[in-house]
Each structure stands twice: as structure tokens, then as C-alpha cells.
Structure 1
Amino acid sequence: MSTEVVILVATAVLAAVAICAALIAVRAVRRITRAETALPAPEPAVTRPAEIVLHEPEAPAAVVSDELVPRVVEGRLVVPPSEQQVVQAALGRPGVRLSVYAHGFAHALRAESRDRIAAMMRREFRRRRRERLQAGRRAVRSARPSSPSDEWLGS
């Protein structure tokens, strides 16, 4: 069986697994949304208005737009997400993660990458073989007596 056929079969299996995972995820989301709509609406709890204590900054603060400043809306404190939280939420989605993995998988299957990876593996295999041989030589040397014995001196 040629390498291309093996890669094609592996890609087809991976695609089938991805489709199954997507179907399972869609069904789970639909079940969750149905369960949420079936629940009665919770009664709004009586809360005290939020108190915000502002301190004057010692150093001049960076200019922040009005959209990114925490504010009170309908008695609740609304704090906009940071850039890191937005990026984490966007890149944490399964579709994005799958596309990143697919891109990496496609990159690994390119001829240049395959050749580079094969060369790295060859070097690593040779290095480990060299280390095994050196360890064997050291073991043989350590098993021999350090000074010449009477047998070698011909007495």
C-alpha cells in the first residue's frame, strides 16, 4: 500500500470522526437549549444597588474608551471583558480549534515537512544508537580490570 493511500485513508477516518463529534455536539447543545426553555423563569431577587468606590490614581491613567469602563446598568455592575478574555473565548471554540489542528495536520503532511521530520527522526535514531554503543563500550571497559593482570604480563 502506498503512502498516498495510507494518508487518504487516515484523512477519511479523521473526517468521519470530526463529523461524528460535530453531530454529538450539536445534539448536546439542542438538549441544553430545550432544557433551559422548559425551566420556569426565576424570580428576580431584590438586590441593593452596587456601590462603586473610586480612588484617584497616583499616576496618570491610560486613556480608556467609555465602552471599556465598568458601569452600573439596572442595578448590576457590568464589566467588559479584557482583550485576553475575548481572544481566549474566540480561540477556545471547537470550530477554531479544529481548523487550527487541521492546518497543522496539513502542514505536517506537506512534502517539505515530511522530509524535515524524517531527517529529524533519522538524526535522533542515530544519536540514540550512538549513545547505546558508547554505553556498551563503557560497560565493557568497566568490567575489565584497571591494571594489567599476571596473565597479560606473561609471568
Structure 2
Amino acid sequence: MSAEVWILVATAVLAAVAITAALIAVRAVRTIRRAEAPAAAHEPTTTPSTRIVVHEPSTPAPVVPDELAPRVVEGRLVVPPSQQQVVQAALGRPGVRLSVYAHGFAHALRAESRDRIAAMMRREYRRRRRERLQAGRRAVRSSQPSAPSDQWLGS
């Protein structure tokens, strides 16, 4: 197979991986938002004039697995990242740049893009050639002395 086909296959695989990662990230963010929505609805409220805190009973505390609970290791507090922080790190700037570059690369390899780019280059080449020829003609005209008009009116 040619190099273009290999590049196209690699780009397609990369695009599939990027789409899968985006779908996983969207689902993770949705589950985080669903988990935070009930907690936000039951937050204590205060009025500006009095400091009365209203709590609704029977709201279970969020269950945190032991490996995600903050702990002290060698005198330092270790807090594992939240799911949202992990998603943000996974889809950070380098990943986005890579996917944008891969998308542009795949777009440039398409036949219609190649044809359009080749046509633009051909037009630019012809335009520059035309400008060079015109500049040459102007240079030739300016180097030849102009004849006096008497000469043409004749004797």
C-alpha cells in the first residue's frame, strides 16, 4: 500500500479514538453533574439578616470509595483527583491540538482538497508569470527612446 493510504488509515484510527474519548468524557461529565445536582439542591441556605441554616433530613452522604478518600501519607495530605479533573487532564491542550492537526491533515489528504490546492498553486504560478512578462515588456518599452512625433508626420 502507498504511504497516502497508510496515513489515511492512521488518521481514521486516530479520529475514532478521539471520538471515543470525547464520548467517554461527555458521559463522565454528565454523571458528575447528575451526582452534584441533588447535592447542590440540598445545600444549606442562609438569609442575610439571620444566620439560620436549613438542612433537609434523610439525604444520604455521598459514598466515597476508600481509595478515593483523602489520606495522610508520610505527613502529607494526599487527595486523589476527582473524575472531572481526570477528564480535563485527559482531554487537555496537547490532545486537542493533536486532534485538530490530525483533522486538518486528513482534510488536506482528501482528493478534492488536493485538487483545490493544486488549482490554487497553478493560478498563482500563472499570475506571477504574467506579472514577470508584463514587467519585462515595461522594461523594454522604457529602455527604447521614444521617437519624436515629427518623424512620423513625415517629410
Give the structure-1-normalised TM-score: 0.39
Larger radius of gyration: 2
Structure with bigger RCO (C-alpha 8 Å, 6+ apart): 2
Give the structure-2-normalised TM-score: 0.39
